[in-house]
């Protein structure tokens, strides 16, 4: 129970998002080694569209690090049975049945057979400036960033449905991350670990998200551009 144990530790978790298409094998090895040294808590694997093999990427990471590898799949075809856990996302801010339940049905038997830890997660897209890949690919409308009441009610409904985590997502490479006001307001109403990602680029933003109540922050895009900031981002998260 990798995720459950990590959340219980209450230390402020840092997740590194790896999009398999963004790294060569050599870069992936370097990234994984640096992640281990920096104290990254988990590696999320996935993307809106993937050309590179999820299974090969996972194997490359696994060879050089003991960091738990957690699937963060954009759709059912990204499922690989060899991960440690899966963020089983239900896109509850949207009304597209494929991302609320459809992909889950397709993968349910494979998931059961894999035996990996399942983290049922309410995935909430918040508007962040411009159209993001996840918004376009999921054909859903993000919640406007000034509609905090709608974000709260959506997160609350996710908890009432029995989901175990809430992911506040601005979208990879977002112009603006989810606001600290939204994070802190959701934390007032929802008694679940809150994951925050999308557009976090520097230690100040990571620190602000944590101070507002995020249990885990996720960074991908900023590290594709400059891996040198990894240590500072992890430190800011604690
Ligand atoms: C995207 O929340 C993750 O799904 C991470 O976003 O790539 O912008 O860090 P970034």
Residues with CB under 6 A from ligand 1: 17, 169, 172-174, 197-200, 218-222
Q: Which are the contacts of 171, defined by CB distance < 8 A and separation ≥ 6?
A: 125, 128, 132, 133, 134, 135, 142, 198, 199
Distance 55 CA to ligand 1 centre (A): 21
Written as one string, the DSSP assignment of 169-222 is E--TT-SSPPPHHHHHHHHHH--S-EEEESS--SHHHHHHHHHTT-SEEEE-HH
Quote the ligand 1 centre to 9 CA distance (angstroms): 23
Q: Which atom of ligand 1 is nearest to the CA of 134?
A: 4
Provide the pLDDT for residue 3: 86
Q: Output phi, psi for 33, to 5 deg.
A: -65, -40
Q: Which of 196, 218, 235 lies closest to 39 in space, CA to CA? A: 235
18 Cα: distance to centroid of ligand 1 (angstroms): 9
* Reported confidence tier of residue 10, pLDDT bands at 50, 70, 90: confident
Interval 95-122: pLDDT, tens: 999 999 999 999 999 999 999 999 999 9
pTM > 0.95: yes or no? yes
* Rounded-to-integer distance, Cα 133 and Cα 114, Å: 29
- Pairing of the two strands 42-45 and 69-71: parallel
4 pLDDT band, cuts 50/70/90, is: confident
| Ligand 1 nearest-atom number relative to CA 17 | 5
Q: What is the CA radius of gyration of the chain?
A: 16
């Amino acid at each position: 129970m990798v995720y459950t144990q990590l959340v219980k530790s209450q230390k402020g978790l840092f997740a590194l998002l790896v999009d398999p298409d963004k790294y060569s094998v050599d870069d992936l090895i370097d990234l994984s080694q640096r992640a281990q040294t920096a104290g990254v808590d988990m590696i999320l694997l996935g993307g809106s569209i993937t050309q590179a093999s999820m299974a090969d990427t996972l194997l490359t990471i696994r060879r050089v690090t003991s960091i738990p590898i957690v699937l963060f799949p954009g759709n059912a075809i990204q499922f690989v049975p060899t991960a440690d856990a899966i963020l089983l996302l239900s896109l509850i801010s949207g009304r597209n049945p494929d991302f609320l339940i459809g992909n889950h049905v397709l993968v349910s038997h494979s998931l059961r057979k894999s035996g990996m830890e399942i983290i049922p997660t309410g995935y909430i897209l918040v508007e962040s400036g411009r159209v993001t890949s996840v918004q376009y690919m999921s054909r859903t409308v993000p919640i406007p960033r000034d509609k905090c009441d709608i974000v709260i009610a959506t997160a609350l409904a996710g908890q009432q449905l029995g989901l175990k985590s809430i992911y506040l997502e601005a979208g990879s490479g977002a112009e603006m991350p989810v606001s600290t006001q939204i994070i802190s307001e959701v934390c007032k109403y929802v008694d679940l670990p809150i994951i925050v990602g999308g557009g976090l680029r520097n230690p100040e933003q990571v620190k602000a998200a944590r101070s507002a109540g995020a249990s885990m922050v996720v960074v991908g895009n900023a590290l594709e551009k400059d891996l040198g900031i990894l240590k500072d981002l992890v430190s800011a998260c604690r």
